[in-house]
């Protein structure tokens, strides 16, 4: 996936949603619980770490 841009949104259900947009309408969305202090940069790093855990062998 060739990343074009990233959106971060604080949702009404106490979660944060990070969307990674790529070429050709590719989209990966990660939704996670939000801490008391919402930080966009930290949310992106946390979402990336979650995706790495999903692709790690075993």
Tens of pLDDT, residue by residue over 10-41, are 887 889 999 999 999 999 999 999 877 778 99
Q: What is the pLDDT of residue 6?
A: 97
pTM for the model: 0.86
- 3-state SS, residue 32: strand
Region for residue 56 given its phi and psi (left: phi exceeds 0; alpha: psi -120 to 50; beta: otherwise): beta
Q: Which helix (H) or strand (E) holds 51?
A: helix 40-55
> pLDDT higher for 9 or 13?
9
- 3-state SS, residue 9: strand
């Amino acid at each position: 996936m060739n990343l074009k841009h990233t959106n971060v949104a604080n949702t009404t259900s106490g979660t944060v949603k990070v969307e990674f947009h790529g070429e050709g309408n590719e989209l990966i969305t990660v939704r996670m619980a939000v801490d008391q202090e919402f930080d966009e940069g930290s949310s992106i790093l946390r979402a990336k770490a979650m995706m790495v855990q999903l692709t790690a062998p075993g």
